[in-house]
Structure 1
Amino acid sequence: MRRWVALCAAVGLVAGCGGEAAPSPVATSSSTAAPAPTASAPAAGPLSTASYQSELTRIDQVLAGPGRALTRVRTAEGLSEAVSTLAESLNTIAIRLSALTVTSRLTGVHALLQERIGVAATRLTSSAEKTEEDARCGGTAYTSQKVQRQLRADLSTALVQLQRIKLTFGRTLPDPGSAPEQVRPDNGEVLVRRDLEGMGRLKITNGTTKDVAISIVSDGKPPGTPQVMLYLRATQSATVNRIGGAYRLYFKSGTDWDADHRKFRSDCSFKKFDQTFGKNQAWQIDLQPRPGGNAATTEVEAY
């Protein structure tokens, strides 16, 4: 359990924060992907341009099944499996390419293609677990499209060089289109404000390296129905006034903000402060774990 810093000072007519003494002087209160196809033995070399194109066309077919599987998954687990299968297919292709001998005209682009396929395979292999986590944040379809765009980006320099000498490769790769525009709210932007108002005040300092969305939730209410939701950029501060009644604090962090659904699509985490914050009080919260901090937090389900 990690501890953060919460400071309380009375406002209005309240003479103190109430409750027991703080324990620290810091504060006062699915679809399953198909298995990787097996490539047939490469042709003898050195290969001419026409023969090399034939090899590239056959290799493209090795990618066709895993590529389609990547676009059809419906669960986070299925997406992770599809990513792993695609990585295995790329490794199979890399082995096949390494066995080819080409003419001197093709040597440079052939080496570049092997390199970029290796980069793509390594990235997919290392990101399979994170992909599954991100799919639970931003959704399976959105995360799959990110994987598809990254794959094309990893291979792009080789594809361009092949095109310059009238060779084609990657026709079976899925094309998710352009990435949606990234929207990052301003620091301190109020994302939700419901009618309930009072004399409470909360100053929040985001001492972390990630943006966060703070939810001020009336005590007893679920985190998805905050009276106030506030966006804080990394290392920035903001203050919320006119908070009504006793409340709990939830905060989610991550990257790639989804303005429509008010959530992060990648690297997300969800926490709540264990304590309840009293009504008509002023609090200061520092979202950075510190030794001796008196504000314990707990991981919670996504909201």
Structure 2
Amino acid sequence: MRQVAVVGALLCVLVGCSATPVDGAVSPTPSGGTAAAASVTPRGPLGQAAYQSELTKAEKSLAVSLRTLSRAQTAEGLAQAMGELSKALNGASGRLAALTVEGRLSAVHQLLQDRIGVAAYKLSDSEQAELDARCGGSAYTSQKVQRRLRTDLAPALAALTKLKLNFGSTLPNPGAAPKPERPENGETLVRHGETGIGRLSITNGTSKDVAISVVTDGKPPRDPHVMTYIRAGKAAAITRIGGAYHLYYKSGAEWSSDRRQFGSGCSFQKFDQAFGPDKSWKINLEPTVTGNAATSEVEAY
């Protein structure tokens, strides 16, 4: 093989090497690349109209992922949609980075890439959103994610608008965030069914607000006899409890009266023991090694 290679080289010297490749040959390019690499070479400098065209293309590349996010129906679906949108945003940012724009557009061009990068990074961490969706509902949590996306991109969108450039018009708009709610300590959120002489005194020794549910024997936790809100570090009493019952409580933040759910940082517990009718009980929700009432985690309700 060495002799063949040398002969070929000598032949080239003797007869002269053409600068034009023969039919079917592939022209070498620097660093082992091919001519196709030229397609990703930054173009420009782009003016207003040409840059707007590229912005429109970038936004269209996000359309499917944005729709998937807004239509997520489960916690798992929401996490997957966030991951897909994160990848799509990174792809759009890469395409924009390959462009060269006129000097007056350079600052907003860089700002847009930066803000897209921030949004993509936050969407890539979907674990907390998936947990929140399990307690606050996937639709509610998806709307939170959509609002955060708009907030992350807002500085760039505002700067583009000042230059009469359009980007972000297809972003989902879930509307304003609901106003914060925090019921009064001891406020009764639900009460139905027969009343009795049972009484329950609860001390919430934890750092989170709780909604504690008295659930009549045989009923699911979503259908409580009484549900009472107890703020962190506070105590309250539930009276006129009728019949034997089980005790459930959920804790978290971002309470919604309409859904009777927390929106983030949730946990769901049930006391293992049953509570007999027409008796008075005292409960402290703060975990302790000397406690005599075990609890277990339960599915979201």
TM-score normalised per structure 2: 0.78
Question: Which residue number corresponds to residue 200 of structure 2?
Answer: 202
Residue 292 of structure 1: which of 278, 290, 293 is its match? 290
Contact conserved, 1:210 with 1:253, CA < 8 A, in 2? yes
Q: Following TM superposition, by how much is the alpha carbon of 1:123 offset from its aligned partner in structure 2, in angstroms?
A: 0.9
Contact map agreement 1:199 1:241 (CA 8 A) in 2: yes
1: distance between equivalents of 2:47 and 2:68?
A: 33
Higher alpha-carbon Rg: 2
Aligned to 1:159: 157
Give yes or no for contact 1:80–1:129 (8 Å, CA) kept in 2: yes
The letter of the residue matching 2:260 is R
1:122 aligned to 2:114?
A: no
From the superposition, tell whether residues 75 and 223 of structure 1 become closer, same or farther in structure 2 (CA, over 3 Å): closer
- Deviant stretches of 4+, over 4 Å: none
1:109 aligns with 2:114: no
For the 8 Å contact 1:116–1:155, the answer to whether it is kept is yes
Separation (CA, whole Å) in 1 of partners of 2:120 and 2:147: 14
RMSD: 2.3
Aligned position for 1:135: 133
**Aligned letter for 2:117?**
G
Q: Is the 8 A contact 1:204 1:237 kept in 2?
A: yes
Q: Name 1:73's counterpart in structure 2.
A: 72
Aligned residue identity for 2:106: T
Q: Is the Cα contact below 8 Å between 1:42 and 1:55 reproduced in 2?
A: no
Deviation at 1:90, TM superposition (A): 0.9
Q: Structure 2: which 5+ runs fail to align?
A: 1-38
Q: Distance in 2 between matches of 1:216 and 1:68?
A: 40
Give 3-state SS (helix, strand or coil) of 1:171's partner.
coil
**Amino acid in structure 1 at the alignment position of 2:95:** R
Q: Which moved more, 1:265-274 or 1:195-204?
A: 195-204
Structure 1 residues 225 and 75: alpha-carbon distance in aligned structure 2, compared to 1, 3 A threshold: closer
Change over 3 Å in CA distance of 1:195–1:77 after alignment to 2: closer
The 1-side partners of 2:207 and 2:46 are apart by: 52
Partner residue, 1:229: 227
Shift of 1:176: 2.1
**Partner of residue 59, structure 1:** 58
CA distance in 2, matches of 1:67, 1:221: 40
User: Does the residue aligned with 1:257 lie in a helix, a strand or coil?
Assistant: coil
* Alpha carbons of structure 1 residues 65 and 249: separation in structure 2 relative to 1, 3 Å: same
Aligned to 1:222, the other structure's residue is in SS state coil
The equivalent residue for 1:183 is 181
Instruction: Structure 1: give runs of 5+ residues left out of the alignment.
Output: 1-39
| 1:231 CA displacement | 0.8
- Residue 87 of structure 2: aligned partner: 88
Q: Which moved more, 1:77-86 or 1:67-76?
A: 67-76
Alpha-carbon distance, 1:97 to partner: 2.8
Q: Which has the bigger relative contact order, CA under 8 A and spacing at least 6?
A: 1
Contact 2:43 2:98 (8 Å CA) reproduced = no
Query: CA 1:42 to 1:191, structure 2 compared with 1: closer, same or farther past 3 Å?
Result: farther
The one-character-per-residue Cα deviations of 1:141-165 (angstroms, maximum 9, x if unpaired) are 3322222111111111111111112
Q: State the secondary structure of the residue aligned to 2:254.
A: strand
Cα 1:224–1:97 shift into 2, 3 Å: same
**Do the aligned partners of residues 134 and 193 (structure 1) sit closer, same or farther apart at CA in structure 2, a change above 3 Å counting?**
same
Q: What's the TM-score, normalizing by structure 1?
A: 0.78
- State the identity %: 59
Structure 1 residues 83 and 50, CA, compared in 2 at 3 Å: closer, same or farther?
same
- AA partner of residue 237 (structure 1): A
Shift of 1:192: 1.4
Q: What does residue 265 of structure 2 align with?
A: 267
The answer as to whether partners of 1:45 and 1:101 remain within 8 angstroms in 2 is yes
The more displaced of 83-92 and 94-103 is: 94-103
Deviation at 1:241, TM superposition (A): 2.2
Aligned length: 263
1:92-147 Cα offsets, whole Å, 9 max, x none, are 12222333333332232222212211111111111x23333333333333322222
Amino acid at match of 1:262: R
Among 244, 247, 257, the alignment partner of 1:246 is 244
